[in-house]
Amino acid sequence: MPSIFSRIVAGELPAYKVAEDADHLAFLDITPLVEGHTLVIPKQEIDYIFDMTPQALAALHVFAQRVAKGVQAAVPCKRIGVAVIGLEVPHAHIHLIPMNKVADMNFANPKIKVPEARMQELAAAIAAQVPGGSGLPTSANTTASPAPAADPNDATLAQLQKLTQGLNFISESDAPLEAVSYAAPAGDLADKQLLHLLGEPADAKVEKVDLISFLSNHTADGGVTGSVILANRFKALQMYLKQELDGTQVYRIGTGPKIHAYALGRDVAGRLAGFKTELTES
């Protein structure tokens, strides 16, 4: 009986594909431990990885190495962890897991929920970074535009990525915080300039909100996060945005029920940096 992975290979089920060649496929795990958690499989239906021929096993790992380099280039992390469990799906597969600490590789950890739009962004970003190209036709990957690789010299963005990792803004539904950095002209930006820079509709409504007020429910020890640890992480993020960036302001863009929110300030290089998220307000 074909496994769920065989059905993905056959095109019967969708997947957030990041790389493919004639014999292998890589796609995002839809129940990941962390963002960017990727599965690498042989297209051949085979249950146990060590039942593969030596040549096929070696080729699978060479392909996984290429994908791992793409994951590490697209997702902020110290290393890419590798695991083979082999009990979840009866189809040989390798887990590639972005990790900043050993605990990130603990399969007893609760799985995280990543919104579809974010999964599409991650898949596109990883595919764009797989050395030698992803091997995917444009239509087979994702409708989202490939996200540009982070500038390795953008220290502000790197720090923001660490501060926002794993944080969700809680409204009527939870949405992840995503670190962002934009090259922008100097001086105050008119709403139309800002919307163009952010890739938002030119006629979208723009409302400015104070950062401390915007995050108040998340920085309070008894706030919506329900966790002092998370509240302290939001406090650290707020402090960084206020102390390290100039003129940080929150921009609520659009009208309900889905509103995009950007917390942005100028860094020392003059870029607009901060985070973006989505609010659900009925």
pLDDT at 111: 92
- Residue 224, class by beta-carbon neighbours within 10 Å (0-12 exposed, 13-18 middle, 19+ buried)? middle
In Å, how far are 51, 73, 80, 99 from 68, measured between CA atoms?
23, 9, 7, 12
* Cis-peptide into 148, omega within 30 deg: no
Same CATH fold assignment for domains 4-141 and 155-280: no
Are 17 and 9 spatial neighbours (Cβ–Cβ below 8 Å)? no
Q: How far apart are CA 237 and CA 215, in angstroms?
A: 10
Catalytic residue among 24, 37, 91, 93: 93
93 is catalytic: yes
Q: Is the dihedral of CA 37, 177, 181, 268 positive or negative?
A: negative
Helix (H) or strand (E) holding 61: helix 54-74
Total Cβ atoms within 10 A of residue 176: 21
Structural domain boundaries in the chain? 4-141, 155-280
List the beta strands (DSSP E) in the chain. 17-20, 24-28, 38-42, 79-83, 94-99, 168-170, 174-176, 178-182, 206-209, 246-253, 258-266, 272-280
pLDDT at 72: 92
Per-chain mean pLDDT for the chain: 87
Q: Please, which residues bridge with residue 107 across strands?
A: none
Residues in the chain, pLDDT under 50:
135, 137-152
Tell the CATH superfamily of the 155-280 domain. Answer: Nuclease A inhibitor-like (3.40.1460.10)
pLDDT at 139: 40
**pTM for this model (two decimals):** 0.50
Q: How far apart are CA 199 and CA 267, in angstroms?
A: 20
Identify the CA nearest to 18 among candidates 163, 136, 103.
136
Task: Specify the pairing of strand 38-42 against strand 24-28.
Answer: antiparallel
Phi, psi of 62 (to 5 degrees): -65, -40
- Residue 241, class by beta-carbon neighbours within 10 Å (0-12 exposed, 13-18 middle, 19+ buried)? buried
pLDDT at 153: 58
Strand order in the sheet with 24-28: 17-20, 24-28, 38-42, 94-99, 79-83
Total Cβ atoms within 10 A of residue 130: 23
Q: How far apart are CA 94 and CA 41, in angstroms?
A: 7
pLDDT at 125: 86
- DSSP annotation of 276 reads E
State the fold for domain 4-141.
Answer: HIT family, subunit A (3.30.428)
Could you read off the pLDDT of 79-133 as tens digits, one per residue? 999 999 988 899 999 999 999 999 999 999 999 999 988 998 898 888 888 876 5
Could you read off the pLDDT of 59-76 as tens digits, one per residue? 999 999 999 999 998 898
Q: Which two tokens stand for residue 10?
A: 């056959």
